[in-house]
Structure 1
Amino acid sequence: MLRAARQQDRDDILRMQDAAFPGDALAMSREGFAGVLHERGTQLIVAETGGQIAGYCLLRHRKWRPWAGVDFLCVEAAFSGRGLGGMLLRGACDRTARPLIRLFVRPDNERARALYTRLGFRQTGLRKANYHDGTDAIVLMKWLGLFRRGANRDIP
């Protein structure tokens, strides 16, 4: 089940984030977590399985950009391989009124790249030295369409 994250999800989400994205300068902090939940144009989506947080996706809509950005997408290792990453990403696509959605992926993350390709994302660029260790990021985007039925229209 997908739902909006709540304050009580903080510790589970931050634990997953720290394991999956160590040293990331854009990582959410304990102190800033509540702000992320209430920040205009930001959606923190969780996948819940059996009452446990199994994964999350942080989706941001910046008003000066024509795309929505997936800043973080993570599935708990114990739930890997069950289709939750795809469910979270499809949920993010469904929740934006923007015509495009963009994300970055490490070149060596073949599993994630395969998922994104299956879901219709295409490489549009390369961001040099994007990650804290100097690794480049592959920029992927997906065209969602101009007129999005049922998408969340109250986002800036």
Structure 2
Amino acid sequence: MGVAIRRAGEGDRADVVRLLDAAFQDDPVSGWVFPDREYRRERHGALMAAFLDIALSEGYVDITEDGAAVALWWSVPAGAHEEGEDGPARLRDAVDPRNTRIEVIGRLTGDAHPSDRAHQYLHMIGVSPERQGEGLGSALINDVLDRCDREGLHAYLEASNSRSRALYTRLGFAFTGSAIDLPDGPQLWPMWREPQSPDSGRDSRRFA
């Protein structure tokens, strides 16, 4: 049975923020941005809300019909990261002005982001903790990758652990060769995907 997917809108905002907050509370990157667990519980949701607002205004958000999984995508044009806008500083000011790590990770990922070709950017994909392992995340990402293959679109993401890196590799993503090292923190792997032909044998096994 397939997973029903729809495009999320402003009316889904509160539910999606709660989902992302729960899904990423124990993520290594979230733990680096908010090292203190109690403070993370207090401020992490605000960062998720800011990411969602950017996706709603500049990209698109796909959600499973049952609301258990969500993916934040941006359609990034060529040259988008050469505009010089100080987004990381604005994000820090809006979410937690005292937390320099919000700005640091924004600058590091922005510097690593490809700017020479248009692409679909998978910024975040989250699944409710109690629903992980059911293939919901796989259904969300494959829905967009199928469109990428049909329309000849490139895709990009940053894998946050070795397990997700291996699984994204099976979906046709390749490590760009330069990891993002968060100061005294975890490593991120930028990954790029070329559009694939229907007979390329892409592995679509479940991963979230």
Q: Which runs of 5+ in 2 are unaligned?
A: 35-43, 79-116, 198-208
Matched, 1:113 2:165: yes
| Bigger Cα Rg | 2
Aligned length: 137
User: With structure 2 as the length reference, what TM-score do the two structures score?
Assistant: 0.55
User: With structure 1 as the length reference, what TM-score do the two structures score?
Assistant: 0.71
Matched, 1:61 2:68: no
The corresponding residue for 1:47 is 64
Q: Identify the match of residue 15 of structure 1 among 18, 34, 37.
A: 18
1:4-153 aligned within 5 A: 4-19=7-22, 20=24, 22=30, 23=33, 27-29=47-49, 33=52, 36-39=55-58, 42-48=59-65, 52-64=66-78, 65-96=117-148, 97=151, 99-108=153-162, 110=163, 112-130=164-182, 134-144=185-195
- What do you get for the CA RMSD once the two structures are aligned? 3.0
Q: Which runs of 5+ in 1 are unaligned?
A: 147-156
- Identity among equivalent positions (%) equals 27
Q: Which aligned runs of 4 or more in structure 1 are off by greater than 4 angstroms? A: 32-35, 95-98
**Residues 136 and 35 of structure 1: CA distance in aligned 2, closer, same or farther (over 3 Å):** closer
Given that residues 159 and 165 in structure 2 are in contact (C-alpha distance below 8 angstroms), is that contact kept between their aligned partners in structure 1?
Answer: yes
For 2:141 and 2:63, the matched residues in 1 are separated by: 11
Given that residues 67 and 98 in structure 1 are in contact (C-alpha distance below 8 angstroms), is that contact kept between their aligned partners in structure 2?
Answer: no
For 1:85 and 1:33, the matched residues in 2 are separated by: 17
**Residues 60 and 133 of structure 1: CA distance in aligned 2, closer, same or farther (over 3 Å):** farther
